[in-house]
Chains A and B, each alone.
Chain A
Amino acid sequence: MRITGTERDADPDGRPVYLLGVEIAQRYRHAVGSSSPFYEGLEQGVLRATRCTGCGASWFPPRRFCEEHLTETDWYDLPGTGTVTAATRVHSPPPFGGIDPPYILASIRLDGVRGGITHRVIGTETPQHGAAVTVKFIDEAPAHPLLAFAFAIEGATP
């Protein structure tokens, strides 16, 4: 932390007030923990989800245990296809960068799992509700590991 400056200003009644310029930089090592098999899958070009070893219920994003039965879950590979629930064109970049605005963001129901993902759709066309999409691995050195992939609208010109 550091003080970048001390500023003397005036309040609405003209009385002197003081302000401190403060800079705080924070750095972390963020453990993705139980999501590690998903990150390993990204290196192998596959999306992974979890399911209950008892009842077979499945989740994306992955869960550590079945919320019905408290059973530990195990991992499996998803086909990487899905259906758009809704999509929007976003006009500013995400916080870690890696995508130039405007870009398309969609809520996608993933095949083979109960659940979905909000993620980037490739191209400039905003897909409609019900549009079929497929995962594409597009970046080997992404700004964030999750940006290694995006979804392509089926039938759209690449």
Chain B
Amino acid sequence: MLVAGVGMTSFVGFRNDASVRDMVADAARAALLDAGLRTPSPVDMGVAAYESDHFNRQMSLGQVLSDTVGLTGKPVMRVEGGGATGALAIRTALMAIRSGEARSVLVFGGETNGRSVDRATAIEILSLSADFEWETPVFGAFAAPYALMITEHMRRYGTTEGQFAEIAVKNRRMALDNPLAHRGMSITVEDVRSSAPLSDPYRLFDASLLSDGAAAALLATEDWAEEHSPTFAERPPVAVLGSGSATDRPRLSDRTDEMFPHFAAKRRAAAHAYREAGIDNPPDQIDVAEVYDSFSGAELQAYEDLGLCPVGQGGQAALEGRFDREGQVVVNPSGGLMGRGSAVGATGIAQAVEVVSQLRGEVAPARQVPGARIGMTDTHAGVGSLSVVNVFGRVG
């Protein structure tokens, strides 16, 4: 299963010059051109990724986007999985190809999470991501459930604010080398710790960005790529080596005491994806990872739950720079959700764009992970109610 082409727009705070359709059109066209196609007609199927009708102001957007990218007549399905939407769309394309239903699938996702929606409206819409009946009435900030999880992680393992602030600094610094990033910044741990409080211990710079943006990927069988993709033979092919998905109790307080500070769904999804990809020692075998840093501490927890370091050592690993530029696994070279930004439906696909480009050796030298051969993406919905892990590898 190959990734024959990838494309994305820049992620920005607000596109006054483009609708979500325009952005998806640009990303999809870039992915098709990247595969060397001169027309979308050989593509068998479309998968549209977007989270929210509220943010995009369009129901049945899947068909509108399918038409926009030139796939009218072909089947299309819309996929939604909260923050994991984009990655779930890639996984859906994989399943369609594995089933034999399609030989090539164009995955396209976008969202206008940026300032087309005023702050009060955005907060109102985002509050619907929690359980509307039991959590929304008491959740003053979406940081709150994340704050509860990391508070217990701090108590149990001695994790500190300074340790997760290092991640907030790292990802914004990484984004400085990504021309498509929403907002790279050079800040210090002190800047993070003195930014506005959201929900203790989290502060403004511990949180990620809301962006406008789109991304696309063309997945295909090898024989389809040989037949239709002129660029297939010209560069090192990148394949999807494995994919996993799992769920957890959506409401944080329904989870067991033991797993309260952990992402159980992430562990299950990663185990499944690693098994398919033949990975038994993740930190040694994985070169580059795009990890869901919705909050700085969530990345720290993900190091552990993705098996990149032992449980309870995420804080120490962050402090040592084990997942920084020169680290054992380079995590979020794109800048992650904090630096590159997040346009929800596009986010998991944009992560794949970064990983595939890294594996091909095609990103700017400042950002390139030298000799990267295996990469992965990690996203989740809510506070880990759904997780999707996709593993990519250079095959040749």
Residue pair A96, B148 in contact (C-beta under 8 Å):
no
A5 at interface, CB cutoff 8 A: no
What number of A residues sit within 8 Å (CB to CB) of B? 45
A155 at interface, CB cutoff 8 A: no
Q: Which residues of chain A have C-beta atoms less than 8 A from B144's C-beta?
A: 88, 90, 105, 118
B234 at interface, CB cutoff 8 A: no
A40-B134 Cα distance, complex, nearest whole Å? 15
Considering only residues 134-155 of chain B, those with a C-beta below 8 Å from chain A are 134-141, 143-145, 147-149, 151-152, 155
Query: B residues touching A (Cβ–Cβ < 8 Å)?
Result: 16-17, 57, 123-124, 127, 132-141, 143-145, 147-149, 151-152, 155, 196-201, 251-254, 257, 260
A95 in contact with B127 given A32-B133, A86-B149 (CB within 8 Å): yes
A125-B143 Cα distance, complex, nearest whole Å? 19
Considering only residues 71-104 of chain A, those with a C-beta below 8 Å from chain B are 85-96, 98-99, 101-103
| B393 CB, nearest partner CB in chain A, Å | 37
* Partner of B148 from A19, A118, A120 at Cβ < 8 Å: A118
Q: Which residues of chain B have C-beta atoms less than 8 A from A19's C-beta?
A: 16
CB-nearest residue of chain B to A32? B133
| A10 CB, nearest partner CB in chain B, Å | 8
CB-nearest residue of chain B to A95? B127
A85-B145 Cα distance, complex, nearest whole Å? 12
A103 in contact with B140 given A86-B151, A92-B198 (CB within 8 Å): yes
Residue pair A144, B137 in contact (C-beta under 8 Å):
yes
Q: Which residues of chain A have C-beta atoms less than 8 A from B145's C-beta?
A: 118
Residue pair B133, A61 in contact (C-beta under 8 Å):
yes
Residue pair B199, A146 in contact (C-beta under 8 Å):
no
Q: Which residues of chain A have C-beta atoms less than 8 A from B134's C-beta?
A: 61, 117-118, 146
A122 at interface, CB cutoff 8 A: no
Q: Which residues of chain B have C-beta atoms less than 8 A from A105's C-beta?
A: 138-140, 144, 148, 199
A119-B140 Cα distance, complex, nearest whole Å? 11
Q: Which residues of chain A have C-beta atoms less than 8 A from B151's C-beta?
A: 86-88
* Partner of B137 from A11, A86, A109, A147 at Cβ < 8 Å: A147
Residue pair A107, B141 in contact (C-beta under 8 Å):
no
Residue pair A89, B253 in contact (C-beta under 8 Å):
no
Q: Which residues of chain B have C-beta atoms less than 8 A from A96's C-beta?
A: 136-137
CB-nearest residue of chain B to A90? B140
A90 in contact with B141 given A11-B16, A12-B17, A95-B123 (CB within 8 Å): yes
Q: Which residues of chain B have C-beta atoms less than 8 A from A115's C-beta?
A: 253-254
Residue pair A94, B16 in contact (C-beta under 8 Å):
no
